[in-house]
Structures are given as structure tokens and as C-alpha cells.
Structure 1
Amino acid sequence: MWRLIACIFLPFAAGYYLAYLFRTINTLIAGPLGSDLGLGAADIGLLTSIYFLVVMAGQIPIGMLLDRYGPRRVQSLLLAVAAAGAALFGLSTGFVALLIARAMIGLGSAAALMSGLKMIVLWFPRERLALINGFMIMLGSLGAVTATAPAEVLLDWISWRGLFAVVAAASALAAILIYLVAPERVDSPSGSTKPATLKTIYSDQRFWRIAPLSATYIGSAWALQSLWAAPWLCDIERLNRTSLVSELFVMATVLSLGALVLGVLATWVRSRGRNMEVLFAAVAALLIGAEIVLILHPPWPSLLPWCVVSVAGSATAVTYAIIGDYFPPQLVARANGGLNVLQFGWAFIVQYGTGLILERWPVEAGHHPLIAYQAAFGLNVLLQLAALAWFAVPRFQSRKAKGRTPAILQPACGWSSAHAPILASEAAILEADEHLEW
């Protein structure tokens, strides 16, 4: 087990750590970057969100490459691309060059989580997937912690350009480490005769029940925590730089711990024979509540709801375990990729769209007004509520159906009690079909 942790878990966790650092670092450098290069809110939103757009576009082809060539070769190659993108970002002097560099970083980070999850599925027991996924996401999300107070120290010392040079070198070292120490393993064919195609994933009803909620919920949490939390705290709470970095540090720490807690909870729920979908819906409802609090903006500090937003981004520990139950191992990477397409795509929409909405209102004394954030966050909450209803309605229908016996199975006049076992068997079959369809 220790060899698996040293050669598989930790190297891929390091790759995900760097991807999370890349994802969230613009929250810290948005101010210096904007002032150095004269970028507005929409420019910063596009520059940051292009990461999510490129990651989204790469999910399905990268998932297929992972299934075909294995995580070791794919992840090491892509991390080298991320290293090149980070180096270019640190050297760029114009918006277009920054955009290209950020896109390269997104491409290089696109397989970071999927490759780790694929290795976990291949090498670790299935009943431990949620817990190990939680550990993976917890260690990876330490990149978000690094992108706050620790990165602020480097930012003051070597500027954002030097910071990206350091991260580029770390990415290159991680690529070499994964290539040298990670083992290869080919998927063994499962007993299922179902072909391993994308059609298998996208024709699965269970996938399309969880996908809209997962996209609008996790994608929104990523978009808000990785960029718009800092401007909101500056514009609405009027925090100074020191207080801002401190609150971002707390949020990132909560994000990291939340991944572990959700992984443990998911394992406990599974061990008690309960559905992890219920846990996922509950956390989604908490996120919606936190966003509503931010929209209403009561007269007390907003750190708590922002911490809830951060924790929501770590719920991938639950969703990926759910997906792991839906599909056989040889399809897991592509199934996770299919889900990631929607999550990262929604993160791009929210991150860039929020910047566009904010610019509809004039800046007042260097700050965007509260009404602009309320409009952007409110639209997001409405779409999340619709996705939550879509996810929950089939469960209510299933429970209602279980509370009654279908009319066709009701005993007719003149039928003897000898038919009862047959009717009971048919009812059980229908109930099982209902559960599988859900």
C-alpha cells in the first residue's frame, strides 16, 4: 500500500496541486495584473476563464487518451505543456500573449484530476474510491491555499512574473517525476458486453440526472472561488490587501479540508447502504443558501457563506465516486471527462459572464456596486434551483410509486392466493427497474 501511495497517489496529487494553483492564482494577481497592463473586469474575466474553456474542450479527447495510453504518459506530457504556458505567461507583455499562455496552462492542467482518478480506479479498492478521491482533492486543493498568503509573499518579493517562473519549474519537475516513477497498467476487460463508447455514457439516464446539477453547482463554486470572491470582498466588504489575503487563505483552507470531510462522509453513507446522491443534493442546497446570503448581504461579515462556496467546489469527491459506481473501470475516465466538460464549461460561463454583467453598471469610486453582483449571482442561483429540481423530481416520483401497488398487479375477483407470490415477484422486478432507472 505504501508503494502505491508513493508511486501513484502522491505524484498525481502533486500534478493536481499545480493545476489547482493555476486555476486560482488569478484571484491573487488580478489587481497587479490589471494595473500593470490596464485590464478591465471583462478582460480579467476572459483571461481567467479561458482556463476553464480549454480544460472543458479537452476533457473528452483527453479521457479517451487516458483510457488508451494510460495516465502516466498523458499526464507527464500535459504537465510539460503547462510548464511552457506558465513560462510564457511570466514573459508576456500584452493581453493576447497572456491569453495564449493561459490557454496553454489550461490544456496542460486538463488531465490533472482525471488522470489521478483513473489511477485510483485502476489500483485502489472500489469501496474506498470516495475516501481516496477526497484525499486526492484535499491535497490538490492545497494549491488554492498556496495561491493566497504563501503566494502573496512571493508576489511581494519577485512579482507575478517571477512567481510564474517558479511555478513553471515546479510543473516541469512534476512531469518528470510522474513519467519516471508511475507504473503502467492496462484496463482488464469487464464481464459486460456493453461497448466502451461515449454513447454508453451520454445515453445513460443517471448521468443526465446528475450532470446539470453537478455543472451548475460545482462549476459555479469553482468560478466564484477562483476569481470573483476577491473582487467581491474588495468592492462590497471594502477589505484592504492584508485582510483580503487572510480571508482568501481561510477559504482555501476550508476548501481543502472540505474535500476530505466530504470523502469521509461519502464513504460512511455508502457503508450504511445509503445513496450518495442524497449527500450531493444536500451540499448543493447549502451552496444555493450561501449564494442567497451573499445576494441579500446582511450586515455581518461574509466569510462564512464564502467558505461554504469554497467547500462546494470540493464536492467532486462525491460526484466522481458516484460516476465510478455508474460505469465500469474502462469507461471511468471518459465518464468523468464527460462530466468535467459540463462543469468546466459552466465555470467558464459564470466566470466570464459575471465580468460582463458587472460592466453593465458604472464603477463607483473604483468599486463595482452591490446591485451588479446581485444580478450576476441571482441569475446563477435561479439556474441552480432549476437543476436541483431536475435532479430531485425523479426521486420523489420513485418514492411515490413505491407507496402504491400498480393497478395491474392488484388481485382481481376470483383470483386465488396462489397468485400472490407471482405478483410479489413482478412488483419486486418493477421496483428494481425503477431504482436502476433512477
Structure 2
Amino acid sequence: MAARVFLLFTLGYFLSYFYRSANAVLARDLSQELGLGPAELGFMTSLFYLAFAAAQLPLGGLLDRVGPRTVTPALLLVAALGSVVFGLAQSFPVLALGRALIGVGMAAALMGSLKAFSLWFPKNYATVSTLLVGLGATGGLVAATPLALLKETLGWRGVFLLGALVVVLVALAIYLGVRNTPPGVPWPKAREEGGFGEVLRNGRLLKVAFLAFAFTGCFLALQTLWAGGYAYHLGLTALEVGNLLFLYSGGAVLGFLVSGYLADRFGTARVLLFAALFFALGLALLLLKLLVLAYLFLGFFGAFNILTLTQARELVPSHLVGRGTTLVNLFGIGGTFLLQWGIGVAVGALGYGAAFLGLLGLLFLALFLYLPLLQNSG
């Protein structure tokens, strides 16, 4: 049963990573068929993150009260609806609605998994949860060349309609194939006091959340847009840019896979701190134009940002795991949206050098505030 729980929730997160990454391959088709300009295309694509972030706080309470067995499949059905709307869209507003519905629907793919794993795999939670993310992140690789080939066969609309069917099947499999807790383990009872008020008064958790804002935000803002934009700015060809981005994404998959093992062995706070410092080194290497090493560092060590979510689980009682982890995830996804936009503003006004120096400053501020957690950890 434990293996089935892991496999089915991993499939759900795989779909989430696939959908968040798909527009990069389909951008030209969407622009040509529906007449979208760059601003419309960028706004529509970012709606996934906006909707995803907006769902996090109510999602946390639902996961703590109802459990992931019901909440995750229910929201996946919303994503399936969004995929159908997107695939049938004939105008920008309908396309944007579909993208937003997909974002809401995928909001529980990771958080529901982490809530379930906190009860199914309490002794090796960091290892199992980061294994989930590493395997799920292969959805981003499938949304590259394999998606381009599938699009040539089915068309982009056919891809989204077929995807909706797959999402429905995975939702059904999760609902029928998993339990909220292992046999004999009771569901954690919510207390009368606490809730989000207790989570928001947790100073250590807020430090982790701010680190997620800076670390996760930088990692995803670069991976999903500006790592490619910078490489093009330096005059590289499309193939050379693609190779660098594949190095970034491949390094991230490997980083996700090993980060949990290292956290379980050496301590989450210690591993997270050192990974963030090496990620900062990757930013410095970008400024020095040592691109291969920079993209490898940014991908591999940037993936360790997922440990902010595993540490959130360590800092809250069991009945608040859903709310604690979704709060931290809200900061991370919110950081992605704000930093992706902010980098663009900085690049337009001051250039890439100033933008990357700004990211370094933000990251070092977050690490400075985070240091007390390292001192308090075992």
C-alpha cells in the first residue's frame, strides 16, 4: 500500500510539472493561431502560478481537515476541466480561464503528497518527499522534445484534450487507490485553538517562508524564463540555449533526488543553507559568463529549495502540516511570480548584471535571517 501511495501521488505531481512547463514548447502555436502578443502570452502563462498561489492557504486547511485522498483528486478534476477549456479555446479570455483552472487544479498535487507522506513516511520524510519531486520534475523533460513530437501528431489542442483524460484517470486512481493514513494510524485531530493564526505566529516558519521566497523564487524564475533570456542575450544559438536549459533541468532532477537523503543524514537546515550558498555561487558564475558551470550549479543546488517544504513539516505539529507547508509554498510560488516580473523590470532598466546582483542581495538577506535555525538545529 505504501508503494502505491507513493506512485499515485508522484503521477499527480508529474502532471503538475508537465502542465506548468508545456507553454514554452507551445508558445509559437498559441501566438500564431490565436494572435497573442508577447504580453498576452506572458500574462496567460503566469496565470498558472497566480492561481496556484491563490489556492495555497485555503488548500492547507482542507488538507488538514479532510485529507489528501479526497482533496487532491477533486482539484485534479478542476485541472482536467481547465485542460479541456484550454484545448477548445478560440479567444484569449477563454485560454486564460483554462490556464487559471489548471493552476488551481494542480495546487494540491505537491501539497497533498507532502501531507500524505508526513503520515505514511514519517521516519524518512525528507528522502521520500524529495524523491517525489525529483521523479515528478521529469514532467518538465517530457514537456520538451516529447511534447513537441506529440504536438506534431495531435496538434496542441489534441494534446490538451488527451491530457484532460489522463488527469481524470490519475484523479480516479488516487481516490480509489490510497488512504489518508496507514492502517491503524488515526487521522490527526484538529485542535480548537490554532489554525493559521498559530502558523503565522511561528517565527521560525516565517524565516523558512522568506527563504523560500528568495531561493525558490530565484530558481523557478530563472528556469522558466530568464536563464534562457540571458543566454540569448549573450548571442547563443537556439540549440546552444536548449543545451544549457537541459543542463539546468537535468541538474535539477538530480538535485531533487539527492537533497532529501542528504537532509536526513546531515540535517535539513545545514543542507539547505549550504545549497543556497552554492546556488548564489551559480549566480556569480553567470555574471562571469562561465555558463556551463553556472547552469549546472543553478539547476543542481537550486533544486534543494524543496527542503524549505520538508523543514516546514518539522516546525509545525502534525495537525498543522498542511497549513504550514502551503504557507511556505505560497511564499515560494509568489516569489516566482514577483521575481520573474522584477527581473524583467531590472533588465529593461539596468541590464542583466544589476538584475543578478539584486537576486544575490535578496538571497543573502534571506540566509542571514535564516541563520538562527541552523544554530538551533541538531
- Rounded to whole Å, the distance in 2 between the matches of 1:158 and 1:355 is 34
One of 342, 353, 361 as aligned partner of 1:382: 361
Tell me how far apart the structure 2 counterparts of residues 376 and 219 of structure 1 sit (CA, whole Å): 14
Supply the RMSD in Å over aligned alpha carbons.
2.5
Report deviation, 1:189.
Answer: 4.1
Moved more, 104-113 or 304-313: 304-313
Tell me which residue corresponds to 2:319: 330
Shift of 1:57: 1.2
2:253 pairs with 1:256: yes
Q: Within 5 Å, which residues of 2 pair with 1:342-421?
A: 342-357=331-346, 360=348, 372-392=351-371, 394=372
Tell me if structure 2 keeps the 8 A contact 1:149–1:246: no
Distance 1:156 1:231 in 2: 26
Question: C-alpha distance in 1, partners of 2:216/2:64?
Answer: 25
CA distance in 2 between partners of 1:233 and 1:165 (Å): 34
**2:282 corresponding residue in structure 1:** 290
Instruction: Measure, in 1, the Cα distance between the counterparts of 2:94 and 2:297.
Output: 35
Give distance in 1, aligned partners of 2:159 and 2:292.
Answer: 27
Q: Report which of the two structures shows the higher radius of gyration computed on alpha carbons.
A: 1
Cα distance per residue 1:184-214 (max 9 Å; x no partner): 4452349xx8934112111112112222112
Structure 1 window deviating more from structure 2 (248-257 vs 56-65): it is 248-257
1:13 matched to 2:10: yes
Quote how far apart the aligned CAs of 1:131 are: 0.6
User: Structure 1 segments of 4 or more deviating over 6 A?
Assistant: none
The Cα shift of 1:292 comes to 2.6
8 Å contact kept, 1:55–1:107? yes
Aligned partner of 2:52 in structure 1 is 55
1:118 to 115, 120, 130: 115
**Residues in 2 aligned to 1:330 and 1:253: alpha-carbon distance in whole angstroms:** 35
Listed as ranges, the matches of 1:274-313 within 5 Å are: 276-294=268-286, 296-298=287-289, 300=290, 302-313=291-302
**Kept in 2: contact 1:88–1:101 (CA 8 A):** yes
Structure 2 unaligned blocks of 5 or more: none
What is the number of residues matched between the two proteins?
A: 374
Deviation at 1:279, TM superposition (A): 1.3
- 1:174 equivalent among 149, 162, 170: 170
Distance change >3 Å, CA 391–CA 265, structure 1 → 2: same
Q: CA deviation at 1:373?
A: 3.4
- Determine the structure 2 residue equivalent to 1:146: 142
Q: How many percent identity over aligned positions?
A: 32
Q: 2:61 matched to which residue of 1?
A: 64
Residues 70 and 55 of structure 1: is their aligned pair in 2 closer, same or farther, counting only changes over 3 Å? same
Unaligned runs of 5+ in 1: 271-275, 362-370, 399-434
Q: Which amino acid aligns with 1:318?
A: L
Q: Give the distance between the partners of 1:194 and 1:277, measured in 2 at CA.
A: 31
SS class of match (2:193):
coil
Q: Give the drift of 1:291.
A: 1.9
Q: Secondary structure at the match of 1:238?
A: coil
Q: By how many angstroms is 1:245 displaced?
A: 4.0
Confirm or deny: 8 A CA contact 1:33 1:39 kept in the other structure: yes
Deviations 1:32-54 (A, max 9, x none): 43444444444333222221111
Structure 1 counterpart of 2:211, one-letter code: L
Matches within 5 A, 1:180-259: 180-185=176-181, 187-189=187-189, 195-240=193-238, 242-259=239-256
Match of 2:80 among 80, 83, 87: 83
TM-score (norm 1): 0.78
* Secondary structure, aligned partner of 2:187: coil
Return the offset for 1:20. Answer: 0.9
Q: What residue in structure 2 maps to residue 92 of structure 1?
A: 89
Indicate how the Cα distance of structure 1 residues 102 and 216 shifts in structure 2: closer, same or farther if over 3 A, else same.
Answer: same
How many angstroms apart in 1 are the aligned matches of 2:25 and 2:351? 21
**TM-score where L is the length of structure 2:** 0.90
Deviation per residue, 1:88-108 (Å, 9 max, x gap): 222223332222111111100
**Equivalent AA in structure 2 for residue 282 of structure 1:** F
Query: 1:246 and 1:284 mapped to 2: Cα distance?
Result: 24
Separation in structure 1 between the aligned mates of residue 71 and residue 340 of structure 2, nearest angstrom: 28
1:102 maps to: 99
1:43 pairs, out of 33, 40, 50, with 40
